[in-house]
Amino acid sequence: MRSPAPRAVPEARRTPIARREARTAYLFLAPALVFFAVFFYTPIADILNTSTLTGPHADRFDGLGNYADAFRDPAARNSFKVTLLFAVGTTVGAIVLGLALALLANRQLRGRTLFRLALLVPYLTSIAVIGLLWQNILDPQTGILNRVLDELGLPTQQWLITHPLATIVAVTLWMISGYTMMLFLAGLQGIPQVYYEAATVDGAGPWRRFFSITLPLLAPTTLFVSVMAVISGLQAFGQAYIITGGGPAKQTDLYVYHVYETAFRDRDFGYSSALSVLLMLVIVAFTVVQLRAGRRGEVQY
């Protein structure tokens, strides 16, 4: 026989103090709830509605037609593939570079604060500024990089033409690595020194200490960085909009840029809304998978 499930405490049995605390909590939450309702939930509801409409004025009901079109559209598939590669590149790169920089910044160095600040500045700068900056640096004909390479007698580059996707991944990593470094640095400083001392006494070398102590105990930070990097990678826009215009020949047609072009160039708000909803579902799926995988990999000493 099954035991009775625990019953929730009836509302009538709540004490006046509990009710007052609940009211106070909701009062404090109200501004945030209003903000989210106006700027997030209402637009999301509007997008869900618009995704079922079609025509230049998005005024004809089309059911799930836009969603069906999305799966048949080779341009949408291409932009999703490009974005997936971009997200993987920026996520792996952000973890590797961020961790490497954090290990450096965690050492006793002169000017350590300045070093950390210098690495964080790109993250604090707008993607519009960074895009224009790198566009001017990388331009094969007028960019400063080729002038420097030429002066040094080295072969010049045309990376925006020959490796456009890898180039915008690299620019993004230059931008975000300082931020991931700060996250890993906080994680490193949270690892008790006693573990390293014990391992050293047991004869563990630097690599063994890194792989057996540092890396496992940084798992929560790595999980957080990977979740945020995948999300921001899938939502990247400015790199295509500012630096490459999605080219050459759609090789950097990032998904959100494709959505923007569909809405504001092709004037297909219904279809672009459906593409947006699909992106949200993909992001949620990625996040759930990452969190579950991260949970299994957690280590505690």
Partner 1 sequence: MSASDAPGISRRRVLGLAGAAAAAAGLAACGSGAPESDSAPGGGEDGTFTVYWNPGHHYEAYQKVIKEFEEEHGVTVRMQMYQWEELETRLLADLQAGRAPDVLEEPGGWAQRYALSGDALSLRKYLDEDGKAMGFPDDWQPATVRHNTHAGEVYGIQLHMTCQLLVYNREMFADAGVRPPTTWDEVVDVAKELTHDGVYGLQLNQDQAYGWPWMLQNGVLDYNHTTKKVMQPQDAAMEALQFQADLVHRHEVSPVPVPSKDYSAPQKALSAKRAAMIVTGPWDLPVIKQSSPDLEYGIAQMPTGRRQSTILAGTSMFIPKKAPRPDLSWDFIKRLTTLETELAATAETGMLMPRRSWAAKPEVKGNADIAAFAQGLTYAEDAHPQTYLSGKGTELDQAWKTLYQSVLMTGESVPSAYREYTDTARAIIAD
Which residues of the shown chain bind partner 1 in the complex (CB under 8 A)? 39-40, 42-44, 46-47, 50, 56-58, 74, 135, 139-142, 158, 160-161, 164, 220, 223-224, 227-228, 231-232, 234-235, 241-252, 256, 259-261, 263-267, 269, 272-273, 275-277, 279-280, 283-284, 287-288, 291, 295
Shortest distance (Å) from residue 109 CB to partner 1: 31
| Residues 251 and 139 sit within 8 Å (Cβ to Cβ) | no
Nearer Cβ to partner 1 (19/295): 295
Nearer Cβ to partner 1 (100/284): 284
Q: Within its chain, how far is the Cα of 230 from the centroid? A: 4
Nearer Cβ to partner 1 (98/261): 261
Question: Considering only CA atoms, which of 240, 213, 225 is closest in space to residue 90?
Answer: 225
Shortest distance (Å) from residue 150 CB to partner 1: 9
Nearer Cβ to partner 1 (105/225): 225
Shortest distance (Å) from residue 26 CB to partner 1: 17
Nearer Cβ to partner 1 (161/199): 161
135 CB-contact burial (10 Å; exposed 0-12 / middle 13-18 / buried 19+):
middle
Query: Phi and psi for 54 in degrees, rounded to 5?
Result: -145, 175
Shortest distance (Å) from residue 291 CB to partner 1: 6
- Reduced to 3 states (helix: H, G, I; strand: E, B; else coil), residue 61 is strand
Question: Considering only CA atoms, which of 239, 232, 211 is closest in space to residue 283?
Answer: 232
Q: Count of CB atoms within 10 A of residue 53's CB?
A: 20
